[in-house]
Chain A
């Protein structure tokens, strides 16, 4: 088996076209991201330490299915106890994962919790060593992608190789968003009140 170079798609047109080939689109995937991040933010100091990640994962999977199942040939899938969606016609599976950092050239995204053996099996081969730039050619079969989301809202749809309970290398990375700041929606609210209209003065005159 040979090795291939990781394909990284950053260009918006390239991304949109590839997502269409994969039976999805940017809006849907970013809605999934929004819901996951929204739910993560409901964690308070009284919750368990890992509550944010748990909420994001649970609701990220929910949203992924809500956006896709029953549309364009997608169905719910939990093969090997790995929760996600499958498109049989396209031979594509999509799973959800919180990652440490997404859409970064210097670092490949790593899952924030260890991947189990089921994830290894549903992803492409695991017989090869650490190869940050080149990765084994995938076996024939279903292509498994992860919607990977980091805490800043950066997101990518990536086909990784899972080994040693983590993402070892990547066959294809499709960059969806560099984070909330880059979506034209600042992560910080903008609720200054200096433009509020308060200066009203109804004119009342005494009649003689």
Chain B
């Protein structure tokens, strides 16, 4: 049976208005509207026209309801810069991501979430410290945030180019934690975004309305303290804290130069005045718009393992997409920046520690 919600999802993923879709599919705008509202069944051939126009498999429109992500329960980074279209596209990507993880869950056993519920904690620095303690990280810098989070049971997917204005978002669903990352930004920004979303997952799990500025500030502060713990920073960063020092320090904690300088101000290692001066100099050197001499981009540790195993079973990404009734490009979008290498290569690189469940 035709599923109107699937039509809405595919249209939002393609960032089309009802009118634009109608034109592409050579259908009346009113028809699209009625189909999406479920007030009438599609006529013969029109599902094929819609599938062609959206470049989605016809079977997609006959799947059960997609996971309904309550938008209030989703924490978006850069919400203010996002258009409604981008917001809807991102939420729709979340639904597809849940569908993909559902498929994986049937075939693989993945790490279960090992997070603290720190929603009672009002101080982000204390929350960051508590989680570090819980995970036994001490004050040491984290060399792979995605790897750490995956090991602790957080499910990570990437965001496609058609949601480039969305930095990242996260949500809880059926006691599983999900983060979607946009890796178009610098690796340092993505690392910070990952820590920011981690902050939302542990501090704002039960918060009603996400996107609140206070929550965003708390998540930023959590990220800064999680990535750059106070004692480690203060014991290592010398005085005078010059731009050169900031540029060396950022390599250790794998953050942007601006984030490093901001944390040094937060920790009182540089004064407001010095911070301003450092920012001006960093801007001159191109660190406001990019990250010269940056760190390497992080990649998933889980997906190469999964894909390698499937590859050995002669299951390709195209097969997965076919099974899910989603276009291959949507599957690639969910995985591409986390694997960021061609399928065969990714499979060869997949770690050999995957085991069979009894």
CB atoms of A41 and B238 under 8 A apart: no
Stretch touching chain B among A32-40, A75-83, A127-135: A32-40
Q: Which of A181-197 contact B (CB under 8 A)?
A: 183, 185-191, 193, 195-197
**Is the Cβ of A42 less than 8 Å from the Cβ of B137?**
no
Q: Is A139 an interface residue (CB 8 A)?
A: no
Contact B281 A38 (CB under 8 A): no
Does B140 contact A197, Cβ atoms closer than 8 Å?
yes
Provide a sorted-by-A list of 25 A–B residue pairs whose CB atoms are within 8 angstroms.
A35-B271, A35-B273, A38-B240, A38-B242, A42-B242, A66-B273, A183-B239, A185-B239, A189-B249, A193-B252, A196-B140, A196-B142, A197-B141, A198-B144, A198-B147, A200-B144, A202-B301, A204-B109, A204-B306, A204-B355, A205-B109, A205-B356, A206-B356, A207-B108, A207-B109
B237 close to A (CB within 8 Å): yes
Complex interface: chain A residues within 8 A of B305 (CB): 202, 204
Instruction: Tell me the bound Cα distance from A205 to B106 in angstroms.
Output: 11
Q: Are A204 and B148 in contact (CB under 8 A)?
A: no
Minimum CB–CB distance for B281 against chain A, Å: 6
A191 touching B249 in the complex, CB below 8 Å, given contacts A34-B240, A197-B141:
yes
- Whether, in the assembled complex, B44 has its beta carbon less than 8 Å from a beta carbon of chain A, the answer is no
B119 within 8 A of A: no
Option from A183, A187, A200, A205 in Cβ contact (under 8 Å) with B355 = A205
B151 at the interface (CB under 8 A from A): yes
Residue A153 lies at the interface, judged by CB distance under 8 Å to chain B:
yes
Q: Does B277 contact A (CB under 8 A)?
A: yes
With A38-B241, A42-B281, A191-B249 as given contacts, are A201 and B236 in contact (CB-CB < 8 Å)? no
Which residues of chain A from 117 to 169 have a CB within 8 Å of any chain B CB? 153
**Chain A residues touching B, majority SS:** loop
Task: Determine whether A203 belongs to the interface, using a CB cutoff of 8 Å to chain B.
Answer: yes
B265 to chain A: closest CB distance in Å? 13
> Chain A: interface residue count, which band?
35 or more
**A residues less than 8 Å from B249 (CB atoms):** 189, 191
CB <8 Å contact, B274 and A197: no
- Chain B residues whose C-beta falls within 8 Å of the C-beta of A183 in the assembled complex: 239
Question: Nearest Cβ in chain B — how far from A207, in angstroms?
Answer: 5
Tell me the bound Cα distance from A204 to B248 in angstroms.
36
Residues of B within 8 A of A196 (CB): 140-143, 252
Partner of B151, one of A63, A189, A202, A205: A202
- Residues in A with CB closer than 8 Å to B142 are 196-197
Q: A63-B273, A189-B236 are in contact. Are A205 and B147 (CB under 8 A)?
A: no
| Contact between A191 and B143, CB atoms less than 8 A apart | no
Indicate if the CB atoms of B151 and A38 lie closer than 8 Å.
Answer: no
User: Residues of A contacting B108 with CB < 8 Å?
Assistant: 204-207
A22 within 8 A of B: no
Report whether A38 and B353 are in contact in the complex, using a CB–CB cutoff of 8 Å. no
Q: Is there a chain B Cβ closer than 8 Å to A208's Cβ?
A: yes
How far is the CB of B285 from the nearest CB of chain A, in Å? 11
Contact B242 A41 (CB under 8 A): yes
**Does B16 interact with chain A (Cβ within 8 Å)?**
no
